[in-house]
Amino acid sequence: MTILPVTLATAGFAALINMWLSMRIGRIRIKERISIGAGGNDRLEACMRAQANFIEYAPIVLILLALIELALGSPAWLWGVAGVFLVSRVLHGIGMDGWMPGRQWGIAGTMLVMLGLAFTALAIPWLAF
């Protein structure tokens, strides 16, 4: 059996971040009595977008992590990349509450991770020849 420790740990932490983002939405929904949509509530809309944005990026990053880890093993730098991604997603979520540096750093970190993983995934088969 092949275990991918970097991907597995990252997926576990990603699930916890997704739960945190979901709970923020739920608290606002209960407090403001909004069951569907954002109901014109800007804070609720921002929290919903933070979770949706997370769901848009997490799958491709996890897929890239898994495929790179299958190809190369679990090098230390891959742990670092996964950590940057997770911290970036938390910063983005906090940033969507109004702390603009968090949002900017979160976006930048996510994009850098995805770009680096994409180039690594492209380089692995290229360099294998």
Q: Which amino acid is at 45?
A: E
- What are 52-62's pLDDT values in tens digits? 999 999 999 99
Rounded CA-CA distance 108/119 in Å is 16
Rounded CA-CA distance 115/4 in Å is 21
Q: Which amino acid is at 67?
A: L
Rounded CA-CA distance 37/10 in Å is 30
> Which domains occur in the chain, in start order?
5-122 (1.20.120.550)
Span 22-47, average pLDDT = 92
- What are 67-103's pLDDT values in tens digits? 999 999 999 999 999 999 999 999 999 999 989 999 9
